[in-house]
Amino acid sequence: MRIGKPLILAIDDVEENLNAISEILRRNDFDVMVAPSGEVALKLLERRKPDLILLDIMMPEMDGYTVATIIQRRQDWQDIPIIFLSALTDVDAKVKGFEVGGVDYITKPFMEKEVVARINTHLELSWLRKSLEHTINQLREANQAKDEFLRVISHDLRSPLSSLQNLGELLQRDDVAKDPNAIKELGKMIGEVSSQLLAMVNGLLDIAKIESGKFTLNLLETNMVDLAKRSAELLRINAEAKNINFKTDFGTTDVPVVVDTAKIGQVINNLLSNAIKFTHPGGTVTLRVRDCGDLVQIQVSDTGIGIPQEMLPHLFEKFGPHQRPGTAGEKGTGLGMPIIKGFVELHGGTVDVQSKEGEGTTVTITLPKRLGVDVEKSVRTCQQNNDGSNSGSQ
């Protein structure tokens, strides 16, 4: 339902008429704006949008029909109900009023109860229409999400499932069953494909929970440096296997925070996995943690292939055009960055991505140390603290 008093814009070139209608409106618990001409009314509309307009027809220079026509041409004004108030009683005048966008027509002199009843009716109809449009948009988005999910099921999941089926059939062959090395190799491949499938299903479930607004954080007090070190120890192995230099720069040993450790740990793991995936052997991946007063920053930078500028706006889209294989042909689910953004924003934090194709990428996560901290107000401290601080990596 509506919140607060409805705002009515009354437009009439006769001061006595404006005073009379204003008194009626205020007496019936409406907020009122008044305009003595069409020109003044249009200027008022630029500054504040009313819930309904009462519009006189017979005005000098710009009549009510012209005012209504101009209002209807503006997309952001088209949903404002316009009720004409006029002494004109002929049918043609009323028909023209409806043709230029009016929703109702009240003939002067009018009765207070009639005016208030008609205003309330059209306000309610307007609210119901907007509510219906909102519901239709939600259904449209839900339908698009369903289509997208079906596309994932039919394409992204079909390939690894087909691989599992083929690998299973190979294991049933007599010549393979007698070869321990072949069994071992097929088992390894099955494990890799299964991990890919599990990551995709878990990602879809996480995204669904985030978008539904039903995701609950399990907040715990922890040390962000310790959390980052655990991720570093886990992902360092992947970097070394690819002959990538892996560096950490924590600056301090103790940054107390209150976060969902599992989800922020997943964020750091995803960032490091992406950096390693898109960096060539011999390149460098660096994990940094910065204490910034009420905030903490986690930064992952690499000297990898970078992200084309046209892909950056789509970086947080599910299965968006940013999906690419890694430098060693590694595949991803297309859900890593949307999950990162979702988990960080649930904590009240922000994600910043800076990248140049062929030179590398830097992703900076800014988190409040506890929920309720104003991140935008405090982020300047981080920027000042980080000036000249990106040294001392190990």
> Bridge partners of 163?
none
Task: Tell me, yes or no, whether 224 and 366 share the same domain.
Answer: yes
State the pLDDT at residue 216.
Answer: 79
Q: Pairing between strand 31-35 and 7-11?
A: parallel
Task: Tell me, yes or no, whether 92 and 38 share the same domain.
Answer: yes
249 confidence band (pLDDT: 50, 70, 90): very high
CA dist 156 and 131 (Å) reads: 36
Q: Which domain holds residue 335?
A: 220-386
Task: Tell me, yes or no, whether 307 and 205 share the same domain.
Answer: no
Q: Is residue 393 part of a domain?
A: no
Q: Is residue 125 part of a domain?
A: yes
Mean pLDDT over residues 33-38, rounded? 94
Instruction: Give me the number of domains the chain comprises.
Output: 3
Task: Tell me, yes or no, whether 266 and 196 share the same domain.
Answer: no
Q: Is residue 338 part of a domain?
A: yes
Task: Tell me, yes or no, whether 232 and 379 share the same domain.
Answer: yes
State the pLDDT at residue 217.
Answer: 82
> Which of 170, 189, 212 is at the close of a domain?
212
Radius of gyration of the chain (CA): 31
State the pLDDT at residue 111.
Answer: 87
State the pLDDT at residue 262.
Answer: 87
pTM equals: 0.53
Q: Going edge to edge, which strands form the sheet with 284-292?
A: 245-249, 284-292, 295-302, 360-368, 350-356
More confident position, 162 or 173 = 173
Number of H helices, E strands in the chain: 12, 12
Q: Give the number of other CB atoms < 10 A from CB of residue 305.
A: 20
State the pLDDT at residue 237.
Answer: 87
State the pLDDT at residue 310.
Answer: 85
DSSP H/E element including 341? helix 336-346
Q: Is residue 19 part of a domain?
A: yes
Task: Tell me, yes or no, whether 208 and 232 share the same domain.
Answer: no
Report whether pLDDT(202) > 50.
Answer: yes
Instruction: Give the lowest-confidence range in 130-144, 238-252, 376-390.
Output: 376-390
CA dist 276 and 235 (Å) reads: 9
> Which of 134, 169, 198 is at the close of a domain?
134
Q: Is residue 281 part of a domain?
A: yes
CATH number (domain holding residue 12): 3.40.50.2300
DSSP H/E element including 351? strand 350-356
State the pLDDT at residue 138.
Answer: 80
- Residue 62, SS3 per DSSP: coil
Task: Tell me, yes or no, whether 49 and 115 share the same domain.
Answer: yes
Mean pLDDT over residues 188-216, rounded? 74
Q: Measured between alpha carbons, how far is residue 292 from residues 252, 375, 380, 383 in Å?
A: 11, 11, 9, 9
State the pLDDT at residue 1.
Answer: 47
> What interhelical angle do 261-277 and 224-241 show, nearest 10?
30
Report whether pLDDT(394) > 80.
Answer: no
pLDDT one-digit tens code per residue, 310-322: 888 888 876 555 5
Q: Is residue 40 part of a domain?
A: yes
Residues 270, 336 contacting (CB under 8 angstroms): yes
Report whether pLDDT(324) > 90.
Answer: no
Phi, psi torsion values for 102, nearest 5 degrees: -70, 150
> Which of 102, 134, 166 is at the close of a domain?
134
State the pLDDT at residue 154.
Answer: 61
392 confidence band (pLDDT: 50, 70, 90): very low
Mean pLDDT over residues 175-191, rounded? 85
State the pLDDT at residue 384.
Answer: 55
388 confidence band (pLDDT: 50, 70, 90): very low
pLDDT one-digit tens code per residue, 80-125: 999 998 888 788 888 999 999 999 998 888 888 999 999 999 999 9
Reading the block at residue 334, the tokens are 């297309």
CATH number (domain holding residue 248): 3.30.565.10
State the pLDDT at residue 378.
Answer: 60
Give, in degrees to the nearest 5, the angle at Cα 293 between 287 and 299: 15
Q: Is residue 251 part of a domain?
A: yes
For the chain, give the percent of residues with pLDDT over 70. Answer: 84
- Residue 32, SS3 per DSSP: strand
Task: Tell me, yes or no, whether 273 and 367 share the same domain.
Answer: yes
State the pLDDT at residue 12.
Answer: 93
391 confidence band (pLDDT: 50, 70, 90): very low
Task: Tell me, yes or no, whether 318 and 361 share the same domain.
Answer: yes
Task: Tell me, yes or no, whether 295 and 358 share the same domain.
Answer: yes
Task: Tell me, yes or no, whether 225 and 288 share the same domain.
Answer: yes
Q: Is residue 149 part of a domain?
A: no
Q: What's the whole-number average pLDDT of the chain? A: 84
DSSP string, 84-134: EEES--SHHHHHHHHHTT-SEEEESS--HHHHHHHHHHHHHHHHHHHHHHH
Task: Tell me, yes or no, whether 207 and 241 share the same domain.
Answer: no
